[in-house]
């Protein structure tokens, strides 16, 4: 039985490098979505005030605009 694990001293590969900026953007989006939920505006376009489609929110829960 061979051990295919990567040694702890191995250089990180592209698939193991964390994109901290992307993680921060995602977290900021979640925080805005939670604030909008508390304010009762989660389901509306923040510019036009029209309802955001359920399909959009299902695919992108942090959506703030119904981009046309």
Q: What is the pLDDT of residue 17?
A: 83
Beta carbons within 8 Å of 53's beta carbon, 6+ residues apart: 66
Distance CA 30, CA 7 (A): 35
Q: pLDDT by residue (tens digit) across 6-63? A: 556 666 666 678 999 999 999 999 999 999 999 999 999 999 999 999 999 999 999 9
Task: Give bridge partners of residue 44 from the DSSP assignment.
Answer: 51
Q: What is the pLDDT of residue 7?
A: 56
Total Cβ atoms within 10 A of residue 53: 13
Dihedrals phi, psi of 26, to nearest 5 degrees: -60, -45
Distance CA 54, CA 59 (A): 9
């Amino acid at each position: 039985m061979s051990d295919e694990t990567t040694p702890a001293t191995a250089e990180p590969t592209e698939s193991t490098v964390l994109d901290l900026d992307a993680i921060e953007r995602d977290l900021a989006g979640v925080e805005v979505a939670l604030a909008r939920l508390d304010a009762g505006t989660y389901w509306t376009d923040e510019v036009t005030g029209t309802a955001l489609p359920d399909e959009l929110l299902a695919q992108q829960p942090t959506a703030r605009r119904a981009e046309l």
